Chains A and B, each alone.
Chain A
Amino acid sequence: MAAQTTHNAGDAHDGNPVAEAAEAVHGHEVPAGTTEVAAHGGEGGGLPQFRMEYWGGQIIWLLIIFAVLYALLAKVFVPRLRKIQDTRAQTIAEAVEQARTVQAEADAQAKAAQAELEDARAQARRLAADAKAKAQAEMAASQAAEDQRLNAELEQAEARIRGLRDQAMSNVRGIAADTAEAMVAKLTGQAPSRADIDAALAGRTTEGAA
């Protein structure tokens, strides 16, 4: 220490203006061998950091403080923080896993529901198709029956019309025969035989029909 101080005092005038100015202010030389802190102010020349008499103490104190700090961090705080981070990572992983399971379950359920829906839809479609077919068949059957009934009625009506016409025709024949007989009687004065009239009518009718 003494040697260092002597050395520092020795090169006080090394041309550093700051140091010299500071020295001028303080205006005293440090006696060799002193460790008096009050004598600060640049007697070492240059930066105060290069005054070696404080290096030893700073280094030892730094090592002690660093060692204590390192021990506290390494043994107490880092494991604590590591643990909480690991716990968090694990919690998150678990939650994600759980969410994934739930998601898979939900997916399966959704798939099942979808399938069920498909089934129901197909069934409904089939039911609708069946109902439609049945209705069509029923409609066709009832239409056929109705057609048949109408046809029968039509035939019946036609038959009646034919009967009435035939009857009317025979009445017309009678009337014609009577008329012809009356006309012949009036014209000739003698009544024609029924057979002649019939023959004449038959010829006419055949002619008229032809």
Chain B
Amino acid sequence: MADPMHQFEVQKIVDLPDFSIPGVGVIDMAFTNSTLAMTLAAGAIVAFMAVSTAKVSVVPGRLQAMGEGAFSYIDNLTTSIIGHEGRKFFPFIFTLFLFILAMNILGLFLVFTATSQLAVTATLAIMTILLVLIVGFARNGASMYKLFVPAGVPWYMLLLVTPIEFISFLLRPATLALRLFGNMLGGHVALKVFAGFIISLGGLAAGGGLGLLGIPGAAVSLGGVVALTALEFLVAFLQAFVFAVLTCVYLNDVVNLGHHH
């Protein structure tokens, strides 16, 4: 059976010159299959947006309706979670959502899923948390501590609540990164394993004799792959959505710190 982890190998396509960042080290800037997947995802988004908004009209065509649908979907999400100030963060959340969605979905069609690389999901998560921190400190300054001290909680409860809030805040980037990474990794491994069963059971059946029993097994595996593929499309959307929702929630925490809207 093919190694189910092989699909996650990063492979160089074009070797570009390294460059070194002082204090960090040498960065291998080779154009890899991971880079290619990200580029294709971004390219697909730009192409889709360019085509769907090429001839905008008040009564939308099919493509424009799709583009506007995605737009309104995330727009409503940000506005409903963050409030009227959500519009400022909308381009970031929209980019995040579309980019993750495109990488997830392209991973189901191509051989490489960029979002199954922890390096990618961790970068996206850290980017998000950095934005939350920058926005939080820029807006609230020193009163950022209120994030860990919920209003209206008695002091003896704060002894318990504050550490919990602080730890959960620290874990946010990790959970953001690992949720997306784990979902994509698990889904693609399961797909590959089931697909591998089809081949190996089919090979068994080709031997004849008792090996013919492998045919129903291969059929079940095939059914499993089809069902898993459908599930993976759902997961692909859901994880992009969850990432966007959590980004909104974390931004809301610092944008509307200390007052409920």
- Expressed in whole angstroms, the minimum distance between the Cβ of A82 and any Cβ of chain B is 8
Main secondary structure of the interface of A (DSSP, over half): helix
Which residue in B53, B98, B120 is a CB contact (below 8 Å) of A80?
A: B53
Q: Which of A69-77, A97-105, A131-139, A171-179 contacts B (4 or more CB under 8 A)?
A: A69-77
B92: interface (CB < 8 Å) = yes
| A58/B56 in contact, CB under 8 A | no
CA distance A49 to B120 in the complex (A): 10
Given the known A-B contacts A49-B8, A54-B32, A59-B123, are A91 and B58 also in contact in the complex, defined by CB atoms under 8 Å? Answer: yes
| A73/B95 in contact, CB under 8 A | yes
| Sample of 8 A–B contacts (CB below 8 Å) | A42-B3, A48-B10, A56-B24, A62-B38, A66-B99, A81-B71, A84-B60, A85-B72
B181: interface (CB < 8 Å) = yes
| B49/A77 in contact, CB under 8 A | yes
A194: interface (CB < 8 Å) = no
CA distance A18 to B9 in the complex (A): 14
Q: How many residues of chain B get a CB closer than 8 Å to chain A's CBs?
A: 54
Residues from chain B with Cβ under 8 Å of A73 in the complex: 45, 49, 91, 94-95, 98
Interface string of B8-52 (1 = CB under 8 A from A): 111110000000000011111111101100110010011001100
B90: interface (CB < 8 Å) = yes
Given the known A-B contacts A54-B34, A57-B27, are A69 and B56 also in contact in the complex, defined by CB atoms under 8 Å? Answer: no
CA distance A179 to B261 in the complex (A): 139
B117: interface (CB < 8 Å) = yes
A165: interface (CB < 8 Å) = no
Closest chain B residue, CB of each to CB of A90: B58
Residues from chain B with Cβ under 8 Å of A48 in the complex: 5-6, 8-10
Which residue in A47, A58, A70 is a CB contact (below 8 Å) of B185?
A: A47
B158: interface (CB < 8 Å) = no
Interface residues on A, range: 35 or more
Residues from chain A with Cβ under 8 Å of B34 in the complex: 54, 57-58, 61
A184: interface (CB < 8 Å) = no
Given the known A-B contacts A70-B95, A78-B94, are A47 and B49 also in contact in the complex, defined by CB atoms under 8 Å? Answer: no
B165: interface (CB < 8 Å) = no
Which residue in A49, A60, A78 is a CB contact (below 8 Å) of B27?
A: A60
Residues from chain B with Cβ under 8 Å of A83 in the complex: 56
B116: interface (CB < 8 Å) = yes
Closest chain A residue, CB of each to CB of B49: A77
Interface string of B109-128 (1 = CB under 8 A from A): 00000101111100110010
Among A41, A42, A68, A81, max chain B CB count under 10 A is at A81
| B25/A58 in contact, CB under 8 A | no
Given the known A-B contacts A51-B10, A54-B34, A58-B35, are A35 and B116 also in contact in the complex, defined by CB atoms under 8 Å? Answer: no
Closest chain A residue, CB of each to CB of B31: A61
CA distance A62 to B245 in the complex (A): 21
Given the known A-B contacts A59-B123, A69-B95, A78-B91, are A50 and B118 also in contact in the complex, defined by CB atoms under 8 Å? Answer: yes
CA distance A49 to B34 in the complex (A): 11
- Expressed in whole angstroms, the minimum distance between the Cβ of A122 and any Cβ of chain B is 50
CA distance A77 to B39 in the complex (A): 18
| B118/A49 in contact, CB under 8 A | yes
B67: interface (CB < 8 Å) = yes
Residues from chain B with Cβ under 8 Å of A22 in the complex: 3, 5
- Expressed in whole angstroms, the minimum distance between the Cβ of A23 and any Cβ of chain B is 11
Residues from chain A with Cβ under 8 Å of B8 in the complex: 47-49
| B46/A72 in contact, CB under 8 A | yes
A88: interface (CB < 8 Å) = yes
| B42/A69 in contact, CB under 8 A | yes
| A40/B9 in contact, CB under 8 A | yes
- Expressed in whole angstroms, the minimum distance between the Cβ of A86 and any Cβ of chain B is 11
**Contact residues, A7-47 vs B (CB, 8 A):** 18, 21-22, 35, 37, 40-42, 47
| A78/B185 in contact, CB under 8 A | no
A87: interface (CB < 8 Å) = yes
| A74/B91 in contact, CB under 8 A | yes
A53: interface (CB < 8 Å) = yes
Which residue in A54, A65, A85, A88 is a CB contact (below 8 Å) of B42?
A: A65
| B30/A57 in contact, CB under 8 A | yes
Which residue in A49, A66, A84 is a CB contact (below 8 Å) of B117?
A: A49
CA distance A54 to B18 in the complex (A): 12
